[in-house]
Protein backbone atom coordinates (compact mmCIF):
# COMPACT_ATOMS: atom_id res chain seq x y z
CA UNK A 1 0.00 0.00 0.00
CA UNK A 2 1.34 3.43 -0.96
CA UNK A 3 2.21 5.93 1.75
CA UNK A 4 -0.70 8.37 1.83
CA UNK A 5 0.54 10.61 4.64
CA UNK A 6 0.18 14.26 3.68
CA UNK A 7 3.17 16.39 4.61
CA UNK A 8 3.15 20.17 4.49
CA UNK A 9 5.76 22.89 4.15
CA UNK A 10 5.37 26.66 4.71
CA UNK A 11 7.73 29.23 3.17
CA UNK A 12 7.75 32.62 4.94
CA UNK A 13 8.25 35.67 2.71
CA UNK A 14 7.74 33.37 -0.27
CA UNK A 15 7.12 35.84 -3.11
CA UNK A 16 6.01 34.03 -6.27
CA UNK A 17 8.55 31.20 -5.93
CA UNK A 18 8.20 29.45 -2.56
CA UNK A 19 10.88 27.01 -1.53
CA UNK A 20 10.25 23.46 -0.35
CA UNK A 21 13.61 22.23 0.99
CA UNK A 22 12.24 18.93 2.34
CA UNK A 23 10.10 18.23 -0.76
CA UNK A 24 6.86 17.85 1.23
CA UNK A 25 3.65 17.00 -0.62
CA UNK A 26 1.77 20.25 0.05
CA UNK A 27 3.41 23.66 -0.31
CA UNK A 28 2.16 26.84 1.39
CA UNK A 29 3.50 30.38 1.31
CA UNK A 30 3.00 33.65 3.20
CA UNK A 31 4.03 37.12 2.10
CA UNK A 32 2.97 40.72 2.61
CA UNK A 33 2.37 41.43 -1.07
CA UNK A 34 -0.53 40.76 -3.37
CA UNK A 35 0.08 37.79 -5.63
CA UNK A 36 -2.52 37.29 -8.32
CA UNK A 37 -3.30 34.00 -10.03
CA UNK A 38 -1.40 35.26 -13.08
CA UNK A 39 1.75 35.73 -10.97
CA UNK A 40 1.97 32.06 -10.08
CA UNK A 41 1.37 28.67 -11.59
CA UNK A 42 -0.94 28.06 -8.60
CA UNK A 43 1.37 25.31 -7.47
CA UNK A 44 1.06 26.34 -3.83
CA UNK A 45 -1.42 27.66 -1.27
CA UNK A 46 -0.84 31.39 -0.71
CA UNK A 47 -1.84 33.65 2.19
CA UNK A 48 -1.27 37.40 2.15
CA UNK A 49 -0.30 38.47 5.66
CA UNK A 50 1.87 40.93 7.57
CA UNK A 51 3.85 38.55 9.78
CA UNK A 52 5.28 41.47 11.75
CA UNK A 53 1.85 42.24 13.20
CA UNK A 54 -0.24 39.11 12.63
CA UNK A 55 -0.16 35.45 13.58
CA UNK A 56 0.67 32.76 11.03
CA UNK A 57 -2.83 31.99 9.65
CA UNK A 58 -2.79 28.22 10.17
CA UNK A 59 -3.74 25.89 13.03
CA UNK A 60 -1.41 24.46 15.64
CA UNK A 61 0.90 21.62 14.57
CA UNK A 62 -0.03 21.98 10.91
CA UNK A 63 3.38 21.97 9.17
CA UNK A 64 6.16 19.43 8.96
CA UNK A 65 8.66 22.14 8.09
CA UNK A 66 8.98 25.90 7.62
CA UNK A 67 11.56 27.90 5.70
CA UNK A 68 12.64 31.52 5.88
CA UNK A 69 15.02 32.48 3.06
CA UNK A 70 16.46 35.98 3.48
CA UNK A 71 13.41 36.84 5.58
CA UNK A 72 14.24 37.06 9.30
CA UNK A 73 16.46 40.10 8.77
CA UNK A 74 13.34 42.04 7.71
CA UNK A 75 11.45 41.32 10.96
CA UNK A 76 12.03 44.05 13.58
CA UNK A 77 13.21 43.01 17.00
CA UNK A 78 11.14 45.69 18.73
CA UNK A 79 8.80 48.58 18.02
CA UNK A 80 6.14 50.63 19.77
CA UNK A 81 2.51 49.98 18.92
CA UNK A 82 0.15 52.87 18.22
CA UNK A 83 -0.94 52.51 21.88
CA UNK A 84 2.64 52.92 23.08
CA UNK A 85 3.16 49.25 23.98
CA UNK A 86 6.56 47.69 23.31
CA UNK A 87 6.19 44.76 20.90
CA UNK A 88 8.78 42.09 20.06
CA UNK A 89 7.81 40.96 16.52
CA UNK A 90 10.83 38.68 16.00
CA UNK A 91 10.20 36.81 19.25
CA UNK A 92 6.47 36.62 18.47
CA UNK A 93 7.19 35.22 15.01
CA UNK A 94 9.47 32.53 16.45
CA UNK A 95 6.64 31.57 18.84
CA UNK A 96 4.28 31.32 15.88
CA UNK A 97 6.73 29.18 13.92
CA UNK A 98 6.93 26.80 16.87
CA UNK A 99 3.14 26.79 17.29
CA UNK A 100 2.38 25.70 13.72
CA UNK A 101 5.17 23.09 13.49
CA UNK A 102 4.46 19.49 14.41
CA UNK A 103 6.65 18.13 17.24
CA UNK A 104 9.93 17.33 15.55
CA UNK A 105 9.12 19.73 12.69
CA UNK A 106 12.01 21.67 11.20
CA UNK A 107 12.77 25.35 10.65
CA UNK A 108 15.30 26.10 7.91
CA UNK A 109 16.33 29.76 7.85
CA UNK A 110 19.17 31.45 6.01
CA UNK A 111 20.08 35.03 6.75
CA UNK A 112 22.90 37.46 5.97
CA UNK A 113 24.66 37.85 9.29
CA UNK A 114 26.84 40.18 11.35
CA UNK A 115 29.63 41.21 10.79
CA UNK A 116 29.34 40.73 7.03
CA UNK A 117 28.38 43.83 4.97
CA UNK A 118 25.51 41.87 3.39
CA UNK A 119 23.74 42.07 6.76
CA UNK A 120 23.70 45.88 6.61
CA UNK A 121 23.72 46.99 2.97
CA UNK A 122 19.98 46.49 2.32
CA UNK A 123 18.13 49.43 3.95
CA UNK A 124 15.18 47.14 4.76
CA UNK A 125 17.31 44.92 7.01
CA UNK A 126 16.30 45.73 10.58
CA UNK A 127 17.21 42.52 12.44
CA UNK A 128 20.89 41.68 12.59
CA UNK A 129 21.46 37.97 13.15
CA UNK A 130 24.71 36.75 14.73
CA UNK A 131 26.30 33.36 15.34
CA UNK A 132 24.56 33.27 18.74
CA UNK A 133 21.04 34.60 17.98
CA UNK A 134 19.51 31.13 17.64
CA UNK A 135 20.59 30.32 21.21
CA UNK A 136 17.73 32.49 22.51
CA UNK A 137 15.24 29.93 21.17
CA UNK A 138 16.88 26.59 22.08
CA UNK A 139 17.51 24.55 25.20
CA UNK A 140 15.44 23.58 28.22
CA UNK A 141 14.81 27.20 29.20
CA UNK A 142 15.25 29.46 26.15
CA UNK A 143 16.48 32.97 26.96
CA UNK A 144 13.78 34.48 24.73
CA UNK A 145 11.08 33.18 27.10
CA UNK A 146 11.84 36.30 29.16
CA UNK A 147 10.58 38.33 26.17
CA UNK A 148 7.45 36.27 25.56
CA UNK A 149 8.77 33.38 23.46
CA UNK A 150 6.58 30.28 23.71
CA UNK A 151 8.14 27.03 22.63
CA UNK A 152 11.50 25.38 22.40
CA UNK A 153 13.80 24.30 19.59
CA UNK A 154 16.84 22.09 19.46
CA UNK A 155 19.74 22.60 17.09
CA UNK A 156 20.10 20.20 14.19
CA UNK A 157 22.77 22.40 12.62
CA UNK A 158 23.79 26.07 12.64
CA UNK A 159 26.67 27.25 10.47
CA UNK A 160 28.02 29.88 8.09
CA UNK A 161 26.82 28.88 4.65
CA UNK A 162 26.46 29.70 0.99
CA UNK A 163 22.80 30.79 0.53
CA UNK A 164 22.02 28.03 -1.96
CA UNK A 165 22.77 25.36 0.67
CA UNK A 166 19.36 25.99 2.25
CA UNK A 167 17.39 25.32 -0.93
CA UNK A 168 17.48 21.54 -0.60
CA UNK A 169 17.74 20.09 2.90
CA UNK A 170 18.07 16.61 1.39
CA UNK A 171 21.16 17.45 -0.68
CA UNK A 172 24.31 15.51 0.29
CA UNK A 173 26.63 17.27 2.74
CA UNK A 174 29.63 16.99 0.43
CA UNK A 175 27.90 19.20 -2.16
CA UNK A 176 27.22 21.83 0.48
CA UNK A 177 30.83 21.63 1.65
CA UNK A 178 32.10 22.19 -1.89
CA UNK A 179 29.75 25.16 -2.32
CA UNK A 180 30.96 26.65 0.98
CA UNK A 181 34.58 26.17 -0.11
CA UNK A 182 33.91 27.93 -3.43
CA UNK A 183 32.25 30.87 -1.65
CA UNK A 184 35.09 31.10 0.86
CA UNK A 185 37.85 31.06 -1.75
CA UNK A 186 36.28 32.73 -4.79
CA UNK A 187 33.43 34.90 -3.51
CA UNK A 188 34.97 36.78 -0.60
CA UNK A 189 33.81 34.39 2.11
CA UNK A 190 30.53 33.19 3.58
CA UNK A 191 27.96 35.89 4.33
CA UNK A 192 24.94 33.92 5.60
CA UNK A 193 24.11 31.85 8.65
CA UNK A 194 21.93 28.80 8.16
CA UNK A 195 19.66 27.61 10.96
CA UNK A 196 18.30 24.08 10.95
CA UNK A 197 16.21 23.86 14.13
CA UNK A 198 13.81 21.16 15.32
CA UNK A 199 10.64 21.96 17.29
CA UNK A 200 10.58 20.20 20.66
Cβ neighbours of residue 56 closer than 8 Å, sequence gap 6 or more: 10, 30, 49, 96, 97, 99, 100
Asked, for residue 168, whether it belongs to a domain, the answer is yes
Number of structural domains, the chain?
Answer: 1
pTM for the complete prediction? Answer: 0.91
Pick the more confident residue, 152 or 2.
Answer: 152
pLDDT in tens, 29-48: 999 988 865 555 667 999 99
Is there a domain that residue 78 lies in? yes
1 assigned to some structural domain: no
CATH of the domain at 109: 3.40.50.150
Q: Is residue 3 part of a domain?
A: no
Residue 2 lies in a domain: no
Range of the domain at 35: 8-199
pLDDT one-digit tens code per residue, 78-121: 988 889 999 999 999 999 999 999 999 999 999 999 999 999 99
pLDDT of res. 38: 54
pLDDT band at 2; cut points 50, 70, 90: very low
What does the DSSP assignment read for 78-103?
-EE-TTS-EE-HHHHHHHHHHHHEEE
Q: Which residue in 20, 16, 52 sits closest to 8, CA to CA? A: 20
Q: Is residue 170 part of a domain?
A: yes
Amino acid sequence: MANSVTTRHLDLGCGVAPRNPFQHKELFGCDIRDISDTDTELGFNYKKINLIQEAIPFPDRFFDSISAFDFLEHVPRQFLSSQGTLINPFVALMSEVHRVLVPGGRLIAITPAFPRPEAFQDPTHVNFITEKTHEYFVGEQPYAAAYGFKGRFEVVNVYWSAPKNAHNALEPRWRKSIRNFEHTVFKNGLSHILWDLRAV
